[in-house]
Amino acid sequence: MSDTFPRQYARTQRFTLGDPRNVVVSADGSRVVFARSRAGDDPVNCLWVLDLATGDERLVADPVVLLGADDDESLPPEERARRERMREGAAGVTGYATDAAVTVVAFALSGRMFVGGLLSGQARELVVDGPVFDPRPDPVATRVAYVSGRSLRIAELDGSSWELAGETADEISWGSADFVAAEEMGRYRGYWWSPDGRSIAACRVDVGGVPTWHIADPAHPEQPATEIRYPAAGSTNPDVTLHVLALDGGSTEVRWDRTAYPYLAEVTWAGADRLLLTVQSRDQQSLMVLAADPHTGDTDPLFADGDRAWVELVPGTPQVLADGQLVMCADRDGARRLVVDGTPVTPTDLQVRAVVATHDDTVWFLANPIDDATVQHVHRWTSDGEVVALTTEPGIHTAAVGGGRTVLRSAVLDRPGAVTQVVDGPVITSHAAAPLVSVNATFHQYGDRRIATAVLLPHDHDGSPLPVLLDPYGGPHALRALRAHNALATSQWFADQGFAVVVADGSGTPGRGTEWEREVFHDLATTVLDDQITALQAAAHDHPLDLSRVGIRGWSFGGYLAALAVLRRPDVFHAAVAGAPVTEWRLYDTHYTERSLGDPGDDPAPYDASSLLPLADRLERPLLLVHGLADDNVVAAHTLQFSSALLAAGKPHEVLPLVGVTHMTPQEVVAEHLLLHQLEFLRRHLATPA
């Protein structure tokens, strides 16, 4: 059977398999640790070490050898949840942790603990009471902490283990991130070793007040429904507290005004006697960084920020320089800027996206020009005020830093995949497959608002008008119009089937400054849709677009946008594929939804205005709804309630339920045929030749 792009796309998990990932540089700069599978269609990640003195890559841990199989059969529920929150479809070593010197590593496979020496290159199982989740060596490499069920435990290197914190109540857990923290705040962990290894700061999570939802598998009615605690907009969040647990006994609760600041967004140690925590108000209009005394639990404010809409959480912050200065990011003068000791230090024409690392008086961070979010570059700031771009080629660049060495990962438009290279050192081998398409894209900034837009056409097209497919995400925290080959590979495949594909990042998407992001405040629909139409109509002036045949497809927020398009503007859009769409924002989680729309109990109007359900009677165009029935993020009720409203209004539509599928679609057969099904639907309703 000859290979095809949909089959390859599915088999390679969107071309992510075989690529080096989870890169960590040792404190002395002599080693680079990373995970990578052996081939572009091998889903099992092994653990590797690159010796920078010799350039040799050494295999440390192979799950197939350690287990005799990959690790998907016996995963603890906490690990399955972590992978879902991180959209992780691979197996094997998908996460690991090291000591401070990066000489010892710990990771879990099939709920069992494994430890390894990164100098010897040997790994072995450490048999402990399990199941094991999120094992982490202490900074001085004498023992390993891990989560088992609802308790936080300590494993000694002889294999003995003991409980550090735990309770019998089913609603209470220690050491794990709650749903909102992992799904929306980017905090995937719930405990942190102190630098001296004598204590642990740990979250205690009580979900007793969170609504209980039930996710059933209709294909297996003999099985009971799965209960989840889902904090829907306006409902009760988990009660999260932070405690410092001494290994030799004793516990201190870290105290702050949790009524005013219930969200615990980040925790980091700034020394053995100083703990930093980032807390946020429920409406997210106020944020504080607090310094805590781990011995008394007392806290003092170090940094405060506020905004009439919301304060953004920036990955990698807070950090502390060697002289004690606090490193944060904040929106100032229209741009997100690096802030050191309360003073913005980056220019207003640069939008900071994340902090990578700090060392002595230096900060490494990711940013893009505020007028161009199609690229992302690695920058370095030093205390003399100098800001230097470490990457210049247009593309999406990220970095890992340690021991005076920097590892850059660069994805650009002109070549498939990405290159991961140590600066002034070797390239880390990638086994990722190259897509069976060659991206043929031009980039534009359309309209008075300069909307970033990629237009993709079939190769060697004769210039005749083409049916159009808009392929957006279009919402907060994600971009689609990126100058990176693989990011546009699926759009190019649709183009090669006879479409002109338009990918536009409009109102509310990241990278374009303070006001741009906040244009969706209290309205997730109007400007978002208007910008897609502006980009479409402008693209028609430059490219052979047949505006009488316009389709739109999207997933998650993109699915919401696709359905919204045919409901509100059937004069522009003639067919839509809405995958896992949020159709009623009251059914989505607190942190994401309330940031934009507020509390529905205080003011329901923004929810009413952004909902698709009241628009059901306006459907005039073909609509395909796709939803995974096991989705615990955008639950299937979104599609089912919307479909019911459409049926009640007498509006024909199509529904494709995906049995056993969550919010991501890692299953090979599902991912392949889902692309083909969408193509068939669009061809059928836009009358393109097969």
Tell me, what's the pLDDT at 157? Answer: 86
**381 — phi, psi (to 5°)?**
-115, 140
In this prediction, residues 660-682 reach a mean pLDDT of 87
The rounded distance, in Å, linking the Cα atoms of 47 and 276 is 31
Q: How many residues does the chain have?
A: 690
The rounded distance, in Å, linking the Cα atoms of 431 and 580 is 31
Tell me, what's the pLDDT at 252? Answer: 98
Tell me the residue ranges of DSSP E strands in 457-599: 466-470, 500-505, 545-555, 575-579
Tell me, what's the pLDDT at 620? Answer: 97
Q: Of 120-134, 201-215, 534-548, 577-591, give the lowest mean pLDDT range.
A: 120-134
pTM over 0.75: yes
The rounded distance, in Å, linking the Cα atoms of 475 and 184 is 14
In this prediction, residues 113-130 reach a mean pLDDT of 94
The pLDDT confidence band at residue 688, using thresholds 50, 70 and 90, is low
Contact 137, 106 (CB under 8 A): yes
Q: Where are the domains of the chain?
A: 315-431, 441-686
Tell me, what's the pLDDT at 155? Answer: 97
DSSP for 60-117?
Answer: EE-HHHHHSS-S-SS--HHHHHHHHHTT---EE-S--EE-TTS-EEEEEETTEEEEEE
The rounded distance, in Å, linking the Cα atoms of 110 and 95 is 13
Tell me, what's the pLDDT at 75? Answer: 76
Tell me, what's the pLDDT at 603? Answer: 98
- 71 has a pLDDT exceeding 70: no
In this prediction, residues 219-236 reach a mean pLDDT of 94
Tokens representing 578 are 């809405």
- Kind of pairing, strands 239-246 and 275-280? unpaired
First to last CA, the chain: 20
The pLDDT confidence band at residue 690, using thresholds 50, 70 and 90, is very low
- 667 has a pLDDT exceeding 80: no
- 70 has a pLDDT exceeding 90: no
- 416 has a pLDDT exceeding 90: yes
Q: CA torsion 188→192→195→198, rounded to 10°?
A: -160
**640 — phi, psi (to 5°)?**
-65, -40
The rounded distance, in Å, linking the Cα atoms of 381 and 328 is 13
In this prediction, residues 56-71 reach a mean pLDDT of 87
The pLDDT confidence band at residue 666, using thresholds 50, 70 and 90, is low
- Higher local confidence (pLDDT), 105 or 81: 105
Omega prior to 231 cis, within 30 of 0: no
Tell me, what's the pLDDT at 167? Answer: 93
Tell me, what's the pLDDT at 86? Answer: 66
Q: Of 515-519, 523-527, 658-662, give the lowest mean pLDDT range.
A: 658-662
pLDDT, one tens digit per residue, over 350-407 is 999 999 999 999 999 999 999 999 999 999 999 999 999 999 999 999 999 999 999 9
Tell me, what's the pLDDT at 442? Answer: 98
* CB proximity list for 636: less than 8 A, separation 6 or greater: 215, 627, 628, 629, 657
In this prediction, residues 324-348 reach a mean pLDDT of 97
- 689 has a pLDDT exceeding 60: no
Domain 441-686: homologous superfamily in CATH:
Alpha/Beta hydrolase fold, catalytic domain (3.40.50.1820)
Closest CA to 21 of 42, 3, 47: 47
In this prediction, residues 656-661 reach a mean pLDDT of 91
**677 — phi, psi (to 5°)?**
-65, -40
The pLDDT confidence band at residue 662, using thresholds 50, 70 and 90, is confident
In this prediction, residues 277-281 reach a mean pLDDT of 98
**What is the identity of the amino acid at 543?**
H
Q: What is the mean pLDDT of the chain?
A: 95
Contact 307, 299 (CB under 8 A): no
- Higher local confidence (pLDDT), 665 or 171: 171
| Burial category of 668 from C-beta neighbours within 10 Å (exposed 0-12, middle 13-18, buried 19 and up) | middle
pLDDT, one tens digit per residue, over 9-48 is 999 999 999 999 999 999 999 999 999 999 999 999 999 9
pLDDT, one tens digit per residue, over 598-650 is 999 999 999 999 999 999 999 999 999 999 999 999 999 999 999 999 999 99
Contact 108, 135 (CB under 8 A): yes
Tell me, what's the pLDDT at 90? Answer: 73
Tell me, what's the pLDDT at 376? Answer: 98
The rounded distance, in Å, linking the Cα atoms of 46 and 61 is 6
pLDDT, one tens digit per residue, over 203-223 is 999 999 999 999 998 888 999
pLDDT, one tens digit per residue, over 466-511 is 999 999 999 999 999 999 999 999 999 999 999 999 999 999 999 9
The pLDDT confidence band at residue 291, using thresholds 50, 70 and 90, is very high
